[in-house]
Amino acid sequence: MRGPTHYTVRLYSTDDAHAPFAMSTPVRRIAHLDMDAFYASVELLRYPDLRGQAVVIGGGRNAIPETLPDGSRRYARLRDYVGRGVVTTSTYEARALGVFSAMGMMKAAKLAPDAILLPTDFDAYRRYSGLFKAAVRTFTEQVEDRGIDEIYIDLTEVPGEPAEVAARIKAAVSEATGLTCSICVAPNKLLAKIGSELDKPDGLTLLTPADIPHRIWPLAARKVNGIGPKAAEKLAGIGIDTLGALAEADRERHGHDADEDAEHGERRPQPVGAHRFDRRAEGVRPGHGRAWADAVPTSAGGASEGQT
pTM of the model: 0.74
Report pLDDT for 146.
92
User: What residues does 92 pair with on adjacent strands?
Assistant: none
> Angle, to 10 degrees, between the axis of helix 162-177 and the axis of helix 122-136?
140
DSSP string, 209-233: GGGHHHHTTTSBGGGSTT--HHHHH
Domain with CATH 3.40.1170.60 in the chain: 38-120
Sheet strand arrangement including 181-186: 143-145, 150-154, 30-35, 181-186, 204-206
| Alpha carbon distance 70, 136 (integer Å) | 41
pLDDT for the residue 26 = 63
Contacts of 297 (CB under 8 A, 6+ apart): 5, 6, 7, 271, 272
Q: Whose CA is closest to 129, among 108, 142, 146, 154?
A: 146
How does DSSP classify residue 86? Answer: B
* Distance in angstroms (rounded) separating the CA atoms of residues 261 and 254: 10
pLDDT tens string, the chain, 308 residues long: the values are: 444 434 444 554 444 444 444 444 567 899 999 999 999 999 999 999 999 999 999 988 889 999 999 999 999 999 999 988 999 999 999 999 999 999 999 999 999 999 999 999 999 999 999 999 999 999 999 999 999 999 999 999 999 999 999 999 999 999 999 999 999 999 999 999 999 999 999 999 999 989 999 999 999 998 888 888 889 888 988 989 999 998 888 666 655 554 444 444 444 333 323 333 433 332 323 232 233 334 322 222 332 223 33
Rounded to an integer, what distance in angstroms lies between the CA atom of residue 255 and that of residue 132? 43
Domain 38-120 has CATH 3.30.750.24: no
Task: Output the pLDDT for position 272.
Answer: 29
H or E, element range at 8:
strand 6-11
| Catalytic residue numbers, as ranges | 150
* Paired strand residues for 206: 185
Separation between Cα atoms, residue 188 and residue 286, nearest integer Å? 12
